[in-house]
Amino acid sequence: MIEATSCGGVVIFRGKILLLYKNYKNKYEGWVLPKGTVEDGEDFKATAIREVKEETGATATIIQYIGKSRYSFTVPEDTVEKEVHWYLMMGESYYSKPQREEFFVDSGFYKYHEAYHLLKFANEKQILEKAYGEYLDLKKSNLWGSRKYY
């Protein structure tokens, strides 16, 4: 068994959520949240910010930790047990450009109900639900976008 740790973000700008569409040799197809592997010596927050920037071109600020998801998948030589740490993040604009080298062919910001239905994986839908709830609470308290908060 191989253990892997990734970090990612639910990036929100003006109420819309940033998603990526991955198409790898037509085997792996679907909308996902940006995330990636922790590099040596990197903390989880730095990984989340770097991966969002690399995969989507978007600049975002971490607002708070949302939680983690776990899943496993098989590769030819073994089974990978993956743990992903997620952050609620505030985007700086609607700009995004999918990272072609990672087989992302599209990206964009979507309304919550659209993003929820587009996401391919149930665990990412759960993370989105939790992150969006936190976003709405912060917005209601006039803390979203407030520099006091982060």
- Per the domain annotation, does 147 fall within a domain? no
- Per the domain annotation, does 72 fall within a domain? yes
Percent of the chain whose predicted confidence (pLDDT) is above 90: 86
- Per the domain annotation, does 77 fall within a domain? yes
CATH number of the domain that residue 31 is part of: 3.90.79.10
State the Cα–Cα distance between residues 64 and 33, nearest whole angstrom. 16
| Per-residue pLDDT reduced to its tens digit, 44-99 | 999 999 999 999 999 999 999 999 999 998 888 999 999 999 999 999 999 999 99
Q: What are phi and psi of 80, to 5 degrees?
A: -105, 125
- Per the domain annotation, does 145 fall within a domain? no
| Per-residue pLDDT reduced to its tens digit, 102-145 | 999 999 999 999 999 999 999 999 999 999 999 999 999 988 97
Average pLDDT, whole number, for the chain? 94
Its pTM surpasses 0.75:
yes
Burial 17-32 (b: 16+ CB within 10 A, else e): bbbbbbeeeeeeeebb
Number of domains the chain contains:
1
- Per the domain annotation, does 94 fall within a domain? yes
- Position 150 scores a pLDDT of 46
- Per the domain annotation, does 54 fall within a domain? yes
Residue numbers of the domain that contains 111: 2-140
State the Cα–Cα distance between residues 41 and 129, nearest whole angstrom. 31
- Per the domain annotation, does 90 fall within a domain? yes
- Per the domain annotation, does 148 fall within a domain? no
